[in-house]
Amino acid sequence: MEFPFDINHLFSERVTVLDQNLAAGRKSVGREKFAQQLTAPITSASKLQSNRHQLYLLKDGERNGGRGVIVGFLKVGYKKLFLLDQRGAHIEAEPLCVLDFYIADNLQRHGYGLELFDFMLQHKHLEPVLMAYDRPSPKFLSFLSKHYCLTESVPQVNNFVVFDGFFLNRSAAQLRKVPPKKPDGEIKPYSLMEREVVRQEQKALPWPFAPHLSPHRSVSSPCSRSLSVGSSPSRAPPHPVHLPPAPGGNRGQNPQSPHIDSCRARRTR
Ligand SMILES: CC(=O)SCCNC(=O)CCNC(=O)[C@H](O)C(C)(C)COP(=O)(O)OP(=O)(O)OC[C@H]1O[C@@H](n2cnc3c(N)ncnc32)[C@H](O)[C@@H]1OP(=O)(O)O
């Protein structure tokens, strides 16, 4: 990435770390081309400011007639994630994530990516296995496999990729188990409650055959609101009620959606 000014005046170090204190420059005009068929930039000064991410910028000060070029960048940031561990348990964690990584097209596969990534790891005192990766591209996956032996990922249901060892080499304080969702059975669907009332109504004999109760008490339904003084007993005989099948009524036969089944199958492979 060449610029019509001396990069070395702006960035004195080979690797510069930029964060939210960076001032956003002018907006670019016209249609630009972005890597990986992206329609908009993932990384910009204003995004850096609002999201508290960190950007590592690598330059080669010798190129471009001594004015230097930007070789590439690496953006990282902490994100609260809900992840699945190897056993499929939900875990809440806030790992450092790789959000964007790019080396200029003509300089790829020259070791610059490794130099930049290693710099960030030393700066953060971190192992790559403890990080999460936001939608890594095939090139990046190959990079992680080649340089850091990260090959076995733990399947997730979001776009983040974590590798074997992510959950092992972490203190309990860094990982919080998310309590499992209450089983559906404990929450009574409204439709079932309604049906119980109907059953009670059907059991009760219609007036005047019903056993004589307090004149203030309606026999039509224990939940009926006819408790007011002087209210008439219900005269209408209970009609047979044909209820549509309750939603989820066949739960016992089909406990999970095919989608969840297939996720589980994948996880156990
Ligand atoms: C979370 C995210 O940011 S996902 C997006 C990642 N970025 C991209 O895909 C953009 C395009 N690619 C790039 O910018 C770079 O190739 C990077 C950042 C992935 C790697 O940087 P590089 O400087 O090329 O890596 P470096 O030279 O240190 O390591 C080379 C290794 O990276 C991988 N790699 C790099 N380029 C390629 C490629 N074109 N095809 C396949 N693998 C590649 C390979 O494992 C390669 O080793 P090899 O040449 O022996 O096969």
pLDDT tens per residue, range 75-131: 999 999 999 999 999 999 999 999 999 999 999 999 999 999 999 999 999 999 999
Is 170 part of any domain?
yes
**How many domains are there within the chain?**
1
What whole-number percentage of the chain has pLDDT above 70? 55
- Residues 6 or more apart whose CB falls under 8 angstroms from that of 260 comprise none
Q: What Cα–Cα distance (Å) separates residue 181 from each residue in 27, 78, 82, 105?
A: 46, 26, 14, 47
> Residue ranges of the alpha helices (H) in 31-102?
45-51
Binding residues for acetyl-CoA: 101-114, 137-146
End-to-end C-alpha distance for the chain, whole angstroms: 43
Q: Which domain holds residue 26?
A: 7-177
- State which of 110, 134, 143 you would mutate to test the pocket of ligand 1, scoring each by most atoms of that ligand within 8 A of its C-beta: 143
Is 227 part of any domain?
no
Q: Compute, in angstroms, the gap from residue 153 CA to the centroid of ligand 1.
A: 18
Q: Which atom of ligand 1 is nearest to the CA of 108?
A: 24
Residue 178 has pLDDT above 50, yes or no: yes
pLDDT tens per residue, range 139-161: 999 999 999 999 999 999 999 99
Partners of residue 60 on adjacent β-strands: 69
- pTM equals 0.67
Strand 132-134 with 96-103, pairing: parallel
Is 249 part of any domain?
no
Is 216 part of any domain?
no
The pLDDT value given to residue 102? 98
CATH number at residue 38: 3.40.630.30
Is 260 part of any domain?
no
Is 257 part of any domain?
no
- State which of 135, 139, 149, 162 you would mutate to test the pocket of ligand 1, scoring each by most atoms of that ligand within 8 A of its C-beta: 139
Q: What stretches of 86-242 adopt beta strand conformation (E)?
A: 90-93, 96-103, 132-134, 153-154, 160-163, 175-177
- Residues 6 or more apart whose CB falls under 8 angstroms from that of 198 comprise 241, 243
pLDDT band at 226 (very low <50, low <70, confident <90, very high): very low
Type of residue numbered 105: D
Residue 209 has pLDDT above 70, yes or no: no
The pLDDT value given to residue 187? 54
Is 88 part of any domain?
yes
Give the chain's mean pLDDT: 73
The pLDDT value given to residue 266? 43
264 touches ligand 1 (CB under 6 Å): no
98 touches ligand 1 (CB under 6 Å): yes
Q: Compute, in angstroms, the gap from residue 37 CA to the centroid of ligand 1.
A: 16
pLDDT tens per residue, range 238-252: 443 343 444 433 333
Is 69 part of any domain?
yes
